Chains A and B, each alone.
Chain A
């Protein structure tokens, strides 16, 4: 059965909350009913039908054709099923996902994958700031699942990450893995200032040397056994990450400014 398809009619005038357009909220609805779903914006009332041409289909698969940086909260709370997005998205794509798959064939705005606790989020372009990070006032960012960014990520990717795996295949901005609580972040490109700033626990893999805070202490070079497990797991998801994880790493323990039980593992040359 073909997926439910949303084709963007035009660039939205204002920011648009696409959170209702997820499989569990579309189940059992026809194209007409889906078209009447209100989408939050400002004071103007907008429905899904106003913004998208809708073709009914299997609600466990949703296909968005055309994107905009004004489309926020795409796939928010996704629990199962598959959403494919052809184009850019706005802020908080895949926020609080607990299952399913979201693929964005474009760039994503800030807070992509915020609070993700399960499932798989793939961003084929670049991700904005605070990839996977918590909203203000929240104590945890990503809590599980897998995020793959084929491009680069903005500042403070994986802020307050608690569990799960994030792969950034190109560069990451400043303070990547800031305040990390636990989990695994892999960056295959260069990083900005002070990676893993105030990291408590967790692992940050870096393919390239970085300017670490002096509160990270070198603790030797090892061929860690656990990295092979991650390499095998990620082989189908990111060949470059899997290749990196088969090697040896210089370990830096930190951040000693806080708990100091985290680690930055830099690929040994």
Chain B
């Protein structure tokens, strides 16, 4: 399929079920809400080495945050609720609790709960205060050196989240490929309930499963590496100079599809001369992941 000069491969992105949650982080100013959120979602690009994938979903208006302060919604995903709980507690304790003036609230509902304040309340060493607001929400007030850390006791677990939606962008030069990826990311960021966990949302080191060395779970996706073209079974024709990937995680299939659709639209709008000449997606033949995002359906 070719749309306005951009080739769209007849393939699909294969994605997996993940456990996820969302939290709202607020601060005295936008700067400090963002500092806490950036720190909390740091080193969370890939489940392979980070234990979780996390990112900022969006900034919140003052009227959207429980304490009416500047806030950010963050999404965090892992392979199991147990690992997600561990990552959530560690990152809450080390990155949000520590940030000046921060507060933390549930960002998603649901009957199955993950510990938030309940996991770190003992930091208060006996001086923590429990508060229940009349509608059933439960909060902890933990004394800290700049005042109090206010944290909701629990947040909701999303057990049917989706991780691993992806787009592979190919361009005639490094610059045009990066420009296309940046345009796609800018279009994808506003899509709610979806995050792109890699640096700036873009990953240049796509992987294949396994490798020639013993113990390697993943290694470079040589079929899409332009410099080894000719030596390996390459997926790239001679006109491709560079490839970048965007990985998308979301709280549901619709969120991932929505983000991929927005990205594809932006890539097509940019066109082949200024951006990507071809778009593909990564999969494992369709036998591993329960979610398949067909590019042709997304651009239709």
Contacts and interface: CB of A to CB of B under 8 A. Distances in A.
Nearest to A219: B143
B145 to A, nearest CB: 12
A261 interface: yes
B127 A226 contact: no
Given A232-B66, A233-B134, A261 B127 contact: yes
Given A225-B150, A228-B66, A228-B67, A184 B131 contact: yes
Interface string B144-173: 000110100000000000000000000000
B67 A261 contact: no
A226 B135 contact: no
Interface residues of B, number: 21
B127 A233 contact: no
The A interface is mostly helix, strand or loop, or mixed, namely mixed
A74 to B, nearest CB: 22
B135 A225 contact: no
Nearest to A225: B150
Most chain B beta carbons < 10 A, residue from A228, A234, A263: A228
Interface in A12-69: none
A165 B134 contact: yes
B133 interface: yes
A102 interface: no
A224 B148 contact: yes
Contact of B129 (A164, A230, A234, A261): A261
Contact of B150 (A146, A164, A226, A263): A226
A135 interface: no
Contacts of B68: 228, 232
Interface string B110-133: 000000000000000011011111
B92 interface: no
A226 B134 contact: no
List the 7 closest pairs (A to B, CB-CB), nearest first: A225-B150, A228-B67, A225-B67, A233-B133, A229-B133, A225-B103, A233-B134
Interface of A: 145-146, 163-165, 182, 184, 201, 203, 222, 224-226, 228-230, 232-234, 261, 263
29 contacts: A145-B134, A146-B134, A163-B132, A164-B134, A201-B129, A203-B131, A222-B147, A224-B141, A224-B147, A224-B148, A224-B150, A225-B67, A225-B69, A225-B148, A225-B150, A226-B131, A226-B139, A226-B148, A226-B150, A228-B68, A229-B133, A230-B133, A232-B66, A232-B68, A233-B133, A233-B135, A261-B126, A261-B127, A261-B129
